[in-house]
Chains A and B, each alone.
Chain A
Amino acid sequence: MDALMLARLQFAANISFHILFPTISIALGWLLLFFRWRWLKTRQGRDAALARGWLDAYRFWTKVFALTFALGVVSGITMSFQFGTNWPGFMERVGNIAGPLLGYEVLTAFFLEAGFLGVMLFGHGKVSERVHLMSTFFVAFGTTLSAFWILALNSWMQTPAGYEIRDGAYHVKSWVEVIFNPSFPYRFTHMVLASALTCAFLLTGLSAWQLLRGVAQRSAPRVLRVGITLAALLVPLQIFVGDMHGLNTLHHQPAKIAAMEGVWETGRGVPLLLFAIPDAATRSNHFEIAVPRLASLILTHELDGEIKGLNSFGDAHPPPLPLFFAFRVMVGVGLLMLATSWLGWWLGRRAGWQARALPRALLWLFAGMTFSGWVATLAGWYVTEIGRQPFIVYGLVRTADVVSKVPSAMVGTTLLLYVALYLALIVAYVTVLKYMAGKPEEVLAMEEAEQAATPAGAITSPVVPGGAV
C-alpha cells in the first residue's frame, strides 16, 4: 500500500477512536447537570426515593463520564502529535488559519480540565452545592466549546472562507468568515445532536440492561425515561438538520453528494438508489435497486431537479463506494433510532414508566442499541471526511501534497500497534461499562473509598487524612 493511503488509514484509525469518547462526553456533561439539578430540586420534597434516584444517577454517570473523559484525553494527545507526524504540510500551508482555531481548542480544553473537572469528580462534599453545580456546568460548557472550535476548523477545511493567499501562504482576511464558514452551523448542530442521541441511547441501553439484571432500581427507570424521551424528541430534529446539512453540501461540495448517491452522469429526475455497488474502475453501478426521481426530490426538493454526476469532476472526486455505504449505514441507524425511540416512548407511557410493567423485549432491544450512536456517528464522519478527498482543504490543498515522507514500513508498523491498542481499549471500555452497570452499588461504594484516599485539603471543611467520609 502506498504511503498516502497508510498515513490516511492511521489518521483515520486515531480520529475514529478519539471521536467515540467526545461524542459521549459532550452531551453527557449536560445530562449530568440535569441529573444534579433534578436532585437539588427533589431533595427537599416528600419523596426521598425519588431524590435518591437522581443522586444515584448523577453519581453513577459521573463515573462513566470520568472514564470516557480519560479515554478522550489520551486519544486526544495522540491527535495533537499526528498532525505533525502524518500531515506536516498541512500546518505549513494553512497554519495561520488552523493554528489559532486549534490553539483555542487546546486552551479551552485545558481551562476546563484544570479548572472544573477536578472539582466535579473529587470535590463532592468538599465544596458547596452551588460551586459543585457551577463546576458541572462549566465542564459541560467547556466540552461543547471544544467541539465548537474543532468543528469550526473541520468545517473550514470543507468549505473554506474568509482567507486570502499572499506569497503562496494562506492568511486570514476575516475571522468571522473563517469560523462561521458556510457549512459550520449545519455541521456543528448535526454533531451536537449526534452526541445527544449517542448519549440518549447509551443511557437507555445501560439502564435497560440494569433493569433486566434487576439492579439500580432507584435510578435506572428514571434514566431510561430521560434517554427515551430525549431520543424521541431529538431524532426527528436530527433528520431535519441532516437534510439541511445535505442541501448545504450539495451547494458547496456537489462531488461529495454525487458519491454518496452513486450518481455518475449529471441529470434531472435522478433516482434514489436503495442499493448498488458503485465501481470506480468501470465508472458505473452494479446491482442497482432504485426509486425513480426520489434523489432529485430529496436533494433539490423538485421532482426533476438537476444533480451533478461524478463524471463532471474529472479526477477530483471522492471514491463513491465507501461514501455510498457509510451514508446508508448512518441513515439506516437513524431510522432505526426513530422507530425504537417512538415505540419505546409509547410503550413506556402506557406502562406508566414502571420498571416492572415494561416489556422485556423492549428492554433487550434498547440494550442491544446501547452503542448505536457510535455506529451512526462514525459512519457520518466517514461520509464527510472521505467525501472531502482528494483534498485536505476542499478545492485548495490536496491531501497527497501535505503527507509526510516517513517510510511506509514505519507507518504500517505503528498503524498495527495503534489499531491493536485501540481495539483492546474499546473492548476494555465496553466490558467495564457493562461491569459497572451490573454492579452500581459497588461503583458508588468505590467512590467513597476513592474520596477518602484523595489527598485532603480544605475548601469548606477539613477532611482528616485517611479518615472515612
Chain B
Amino acid sequence: MTWMSFDAALPIVFMVLMGLSMLIYVVSDGYDLGVGMLMHRATDAEKDVMVASIGPFWDANETWLVLGVGILLIAFPKAHGLVLGELYLPVALMLVGLTLRGVAFDFRVKAKDTHKRTWDRLFFAGSALASTAQGWMLGRYVSGFGEGWNYPLFAAAIAIALPMAYVLMGAAWLIMKTEGELQAHAVSWARIAWAPMVGGLVLISMATPWVSPTVRERWFALPEIIALLAIPMMTGVSLLAVLALLKSRQVRGPLCWLPFALLVGVFVLGFLGLAYSIYPYVVLDRLTLWQAASSPEALKVILVGVCISVPAIIGYTVFSYRVFRGKAGELTYA
C-alpha cells in the first residue's frame, strides 16, 4: 500500500470532519427534536421542565448542522449543489420546521400566557416536521437519489423511522435529566417508542441492500462480511439492553444515564455502517470525494481555521455539558 499525497488526502480529512459534524448533529439535535415531539404528551408544568432540560444546549446542537452543511458547501461545492438540488422540497420543509421549533424556544416564555399554548403546539409541529423531513432526506441520500417506485417507499420508511429514533433518544434524555413523575412518564414513552424504532431499523437494514446494488456488494463481500457483522450484532445487543433497562427499576436510579449512552452508541454504529457503505462517494454512484472537492489550496486555508476552532469547540461542548450536568428543575413562576 502506498501512502497518498497530502493534497489527495485533504478531501478525506474534510469528509471525516463533515461526517463527524453530521453525526454529532443527529445525536444532539436528535434528542432535542425527540423531546419536542414528546411535548404534546406532557402536562404544562412538565413542558417547562422539558424545555429547560434542552435550553442551554439546542443552540449549539443546531450549529453542528450549519458546520456540516458548511463543510459540504465549502469543501465539496459540486456535491452541495447536487444534493440540495435533489432535496429541494424536504430541505425547505425541514428549515421551516427548525425555524418554528427554534423561535418557539424563546417565544413560549416571552409571549403572553394566552399565546404560550400556540407556541407549544408550534414547538411540537416544528420538531415533527424537521425530523420527518430529515428522515426522508436520509432515505433519498442513502439510496443515491434513485428513480423508481421502490425508492420513495424506502425514503418514506426512513421518514417514519428516524423520528421514532429521535423520540426514543428524547425520552432517554429525559430519563437522564429529570426526576419524579416526568421521569416515570419518560420511561413509559421510551417503552412505546422502542418497538417502532427497532422495527424501522430492521426494515431499513433489509431494504438498503435491496435499493442499492453498490451497498449490496459492499455488505455481502467475503471476507469483509465477518468483520462487518460486528456492527449489527453490537447494535442488537445495545437495543436489547435498552429494553431490559426500561423494564427494570434501575433506570430511575443510578443507571438513568445508560439508555441514553447506549442509544448514542447505536447512532454511532449506524453511522459507521453508513460511512462504510458509501465511501469513497459523496453522492452514491455519482460523485466521489475527489471529484467534488475544492482545490487543495482552498482546503488548506480552511483547515488552518478548522484545526484551531474544532478542538476548542469540542472542549467547550464537553465543559458546557459538565456545567449543566444536573437534573432540570421545576419552573417556579413567582
Contacts and interface: CB of A to CB of B under 8 A. Distances in A.
Contacts of A454: 52, 55-56, 324, 328-329
A71 B103 contact: yes
Nearest to B328: A455
A115 to B, nearest CB: 5
B91 A81 contact: yes
B59 interface: yes
Contacts of A425: 99, 103
Contact of B313 (A63, A92, A110): A110
- Point out which of B95, B294, B309 has the most chain A C-beta atoms below 10 A from its C-beta: B95
Interface in A43-90: 63, 66-67, 70-71, 73-78, 80-81, 83-85, 88-89
A335 B304 CA distance: 45
B106 A455 contact: no
7 contacts: A84-B69, A84-B81, A100-B74, A435-B110, A455-B325, A455-B328, A455-B329
B223 interface: no
B297 A89 contact: no
Interface in A265-318: none
A241 interface: no
A69 to B, nearest CB: 8
A110 B326 contact: no
Interface stretch (B153-161, B202-210, B268-276, B314-322): B314-322
Nearest to B87: A85
A35 to B, nearest CB: 19
Q: Is the interface of A mostly helix, strand, loop or mixed?
A: helix
B120 interface: no
A423 interface: no
Contacts of A67: 106-107, 110
B295 A122 contact: no
Given A92-B78, A445-B334, A465-B327, A84 B103 contact: no
Interface string A85-127: 1001101100111111011101101110111011000100010
Interface of A: 63, 66-67, 70-71, 73-78, 80-81, 83-85, 88-89, 91-92, 95-100, 102-104, 106-107, 109-111, 113-115, 117-118, 122, 126, 169, 171-172, 175, 404-406, 410, 414, 417-418, 421, 425, 428, 431-432, 435-436, 443, 445-446, 448-450, 452-459, 463, 465-468
B65 interface: yes
Contact of B73 (A78, A91, A113, A432): A91
Contacts of B81: 84, 88-89, 91-92, 404
A322 B113 CA distance: 42
Interface string B85-109: 1001101100110111011011101
B85 A103 contact: no
B95 A77 contact: yes
Contacts of B325: 455, 457
B75 interface: yes
| Chain B: interface size category | 35 or more
- Point out which of A85, A126, A405, A465 has the most chain B C-beta atoms below 10 A from its C-beta: A85
Q: Is the interface of B mostly helix, strand, loop or mixed?
A: helix
Contact of B327 (A83, A450, A455): A455
B107 A432 contact: yes
B74 A417 contact: no
Contacts of B330: 453, 466
Contacts of B62: 73, 77
B316 A114 contact: yes
A83 B66 contact: no
B329 A410 contact: no
A75 B62 CA distance: 12
A114 B331 contact: no
Contact of B98 (A74, A109, A169, A456): A74
Nearest to B71: A103
A211 B77 CA distance: 52
B73 A84 contact: yes
Contacts of A122: 55-56, 324
Interface string B135-146: 000000000000
Interface in B162-198: 177, 179
